[in-house]
Amino acid sequence: MFKTGLFSRTKSEESKRIYLDYAAATPLEVVVIEVMQKYLHLYGNPSAIHQEGVAAKDVINDCQTRIARLLQIKPEGVVFTSGGTESNNLALLGVVEQLHKTGRAYDSMEVLTTGIEHPSISETILELKNRGVLVKYVKVDEVGKVSLDSLRENLSNKTVLVSVALVNSEIGTIQNIGAIARVAHEVDKSILIHADAAQSPYWMSVELPRIGADIISLDAGKCGGPKGIGVLAWQKRVQLTPVLYGGGQQMGLRPGTESVILIAGATMAIEQAQRKWQERSEKVTKVRNECIKKLKEEILDVILNGAEGEERVANNINISILGLDTEFAVVVLDKNGIAASTKSACSGAGGGESVVVKQISNDTARATSTIRLTLGEETTINDCQKMIQVLKEHVEKMKDY
């Protein structure tokens, strides 16, 4: 039992639910709710030329300009999508199909990625492969960092795109996108670098020049914004073709009537996330580090999956407890007022094997016994105390069976 020092709790803290699944979804920020409410009255179609339509379009244009300014790109390099998944699809398919449309054969193009990407990347990569595009998988090390030597070995004069997550959604490892870009450009400066940055805005800068990416995908639902809205942003040299059809909205790249309310909410959320990412990251890193330390002290055989220190995003704790049914453990935590997960929500409900952990460890037992705990800005040491206590008691109970 934890009763003293950093790990003491009050009765009010014991009675509240503890949310430790911020990588899957975040609560709406108050300022985001306020700005969305502000535009509820804008019912005009942004494509219409009457006053109601123009008023709606003006808001969208303003949001596009603000996002572009934030990301250090031109406004014409910003498209609003339905979320991170669509942004990733448009990035990969949009680049390849644009080249194909200009006469490049599918089998003359090569796309590089890793085996630890989010399903919205890995499944889209398989679709490209089905179309005839050459696909290569770059090796990662035991914490999920891209091997630059493996990258060099796999690059060729056919390579057109490299796609890697800035922050891995399961194990929280941060990739050095700039280093990846430099290696790729040693072979061919025209190679485009795509970064899935859905997990990033709360915790680090997502300015494209600073990251070193040509294209990034964002998801407002991961940084205090509404669900169902994301951003694809790119540098001037990138050319894309649409992958959906039926309208000329958003420069013809993303057909469909835009939602002013969602776009306004997403813009405010991403701005707010970036405004204080350093302060937030420093605060949450301290809680995360203390929580990892206590987990290792209190529960035998806990294995931390992913990188440590500055190479791990501030809010991520991913552990394996060998032999434990972690799907059941997550249910037990939930019944005790604690929300956690076993892996990325988009990888499928329930337990099963973590593809990411299997890739970095080559250990099935470790990959089938993972728990992902992702903290928020309001998560406290006391919240972690309760989680560890419940998990420790459950692990000890399971040993008796």
Catalytic sites, residue numbers: 346
- Residue 42 near residue 50 (C-beta atoms within 8 A): no
CB 169, CB 344: distance < 8 Å = yes
Q: What three-state secondary structure class fits 173? A: strand
Partners of 303 in beta bridges: 320
Helix axes 381-399, 277-298, angle to 10 degrees: 30
What's the rounded Cα separation, in Å, for the pair 60 and 48? 13
Between vectors from CA 169 to CA 164 and to CA 170, what angle results, nearest 5°?
A: 120
Are 145 and 360 in contact by the 8 Å Cβ rule? The answer is: no
Distance CA 386, CA 336 (A): 9
CB atoms within 10 A of CB 142: 12
Q: Is 400 exposed, middle or buried (0-12, 13-18, 19+ CB in 10 A)?
A: exposed
Region for residue 349 given its phi and psi (left: phi exceeds 0; alpha: psi -120 to 50; beta: otherwise): beta
Total count of residues recorded for the chain: 401
Q: What span, in angstroms and rounded, lies between the C-alpha atoms of 390 and 371? A: 14
